Structure 1
Amino acid sequence: MNLKLVSIVYIFCICGISCTASNEDTSVLPEGFVDATQRSTHTNNWAVLVDASRFWFNYRHVANVLSIYRSVKRLGIPDSQIILMIADDMACNARNPRPGQVYNNANQHINVYGDDVEVDYRGYEVTVENFVRLLTGRTQNGTARSKKLLSDAGSNVLIYLTGHGGDGFLKFQDSEEITSQELADGIQQMWEKKRYNELFFMVDTCQAASLYEKFSSPNVLAVASSLVGQDSLSHHVDPSIGVYMIDRYTYYALEFLEKVQPFSTRTIGDFLQVCPKRVCISTVGVRKDLYRRDPHKVPITDFFGAIRPTRVSTDRINVTLANESDFIADPDEISANKRPFKIIMEPQFPSEFFK
């Protein structure tokens, strides 16, 4: 018995020494890169983007969700980690004078539908049941992998909702509703099942702030386009199609996001101020009591961008190349010209931090 105890203590001591040694970083990294890696503990990003409205007169809601989709995709979140739910297909609607295109402004600067939009849930697939199943990971048997939210304890998740709502509910398809309590329960299950590290809840609808009132789960930051008792208003009409193009809050959110680059220093705190009442008319609501970090110290890309796992090593790395003939079309070219063999590869590391 004593011998076993000594062995256990010995192993514990070795492990302790090993861990201590590995935590001591003798290398000196550029300050900008060190700050970037210490801002968050998440390892991947996911986005769930939902338009819950049907019918042509709700064109702006489709433009809303596609505007956010464009932004997160441009900043690095791949389609494989974006769940896009659109209740109606405005791009192919018979009333659309520009088939296959959806714009978020009358000047037609940006076609937010684009050539590579991947809609995961379309039309009558956009239901309260499917949305809740998606969040909680309880999708039905046979559901395609691309329709699943495969987040984990290291995931930062962005949830964006747009449509018609009221005090404590959001309508789906004009036939059913999801309540603020159901949303709170779904997010609580996500937390208990370790399906997110931090969650950013964003909603653009009337009385939007009522949808996050029931939240109690940790690490949740929420923003809403209007307070309880207020309407969320549209921005402008395109006379050529006769409908509103986009809602005010999402319009100014997109204007902000279009100026953000992958290594931007803009923060979530900056984003929470994008639509003051003088331009939004409604009052933007923010809930941050459940969130552990100061939003003004959280990069906007922690939720709207993506991170690339990087391992930094200060040791010499030996790379054994294959035969030169595997890389050169004519192996005699080297012996004839007697030039050193050289392979040029595109940089994969953010070298701008070292300048």
Structure 2
Amino acid sequence: MILPTMKKTQCLELYIITLMDQMFILVSPIGNTSALTGVDHVKVLNTKSNDTIFIYMSGHGSEGFFAMPDSGQIWGDDLVNALKKKHDALAYKKMVIYIESCYSGSMFEGILPNNINIYATTASNAHEDSYGFYCPDYSSNSPPFFTTCLGDLYSISWMEDRYGLVVK
């Protein structure tokens, strides 16, 4: 689970999100945990019919797929089919999926049913880029020691608004 905490740094007028704990979930395309034998420290989402699930995916994407950090892609059709199977198995009550990548809307547009209790929100529509923010060399707000973008325009907008953060 990713547990973000906000703290104001002494040297910068900016808030930094630090990750207290980071969990990566390794899944097979069809959710078959028996296919993961021999894999150490497998994290499995074992949910029940009264559970609420929040899924956050941030990375790179293109039309129809989301790129995985190590290799390969998750295709929109495959993701939606897996979600339908979870729904049919009564494996959740409600689900929120937040995808932050270019073309992230293509993961759901026209293929996610509206009757399976899933709210999906994406950083971009099916045919557009999303935009990294607080990136090295891209913003006058970025300290020189940044080596990666801290967020996407989509996420930092609602977080700064929600928490009343003002970056100068």
User: TM-score normalised to the size of structure 2?
Assistant: 0.73
Aligned residue pairs total 150
Q: CA RMSD in A?
A: 3.1
- Within a 5 Å distance, the mapping from 1:114-193 to structure 2 comes to 117-121=20-24, 130-132=26-28, 136=31, 138=33, 140-141=36-37, 147-173=43-69, 175-193=71-89
Larger Rg: 1 or 2? 1
Q: Is the 8 A contact 1:157 1:196 kept in 2?
A: yes
CA distance in 1, matches of 2:126, 2:105: 6
Gaps of 5+ in 1: 1-48, 50-65, 75-102, 260-355
CA offsets 1:121-176 (integer angstroms, 9 cap, x no match)? 3xxxx6xxx3346x846363477888221211001111111100011101113631
Q: 1:215 is matched with which residue?
A: 112
2:4 aligned with 1:70: yes
Instruction: Provide runs of 4+ in structure 1 moved above 4 Å.
Output: 141-146
Q: Is the 8 A contact 2:4 2:17 kept in 1?
A: no
2:127 to 225, 229, 239: 229
Q: 2:94 is matched with which residue?
A: 198
Q: Is the 8 A contact 2:59 2:69 kept in 1?
A: no
SS of 2:47's partner is: coil
Q: 1:109 is matched with which residue?
A: 15
Q: 1:274 is matched with which residue?
A: none
2:79 partner amino acid:
L
Q: 1:255 is matched with which residue?
A: 160
CA offsets 1:100-130 (integer angstroms, 9 cap, x no match)? xxx9xx74533412xxx33333xxxx6xxx3
Q: 1:325 is matched with which residue?
A: none
Identity over aligned residues, as a percent? 19
1:70 partner amino acid:
P
SS of 1:244's partner is: coil
SS of 2:49's partner is: coil
Q: Is the 8 A contact 1:136 1:189 kept in 2?
A: no
CA distance in 2, matches of 1:148, 1:70: 21
Q: 1:339 is matched with which residue?
A: none
- Within a 5 Å distance, the mapping from 1:19-34 to structure 2 comes to none
User: TM-score normalised to the size of structure 1?
Assistant: 0.37
Taking a change above 3 Å as real, the CA distance of residues 145 and 193 of structure 1, as seen in their structure-2 partners, is farther
SS of 2:83's partner is: helix
Task: Identify the structure with the greater strand proportion.
Answer: 2
CA distance in 2, matches of 1:256, 1:167: 29
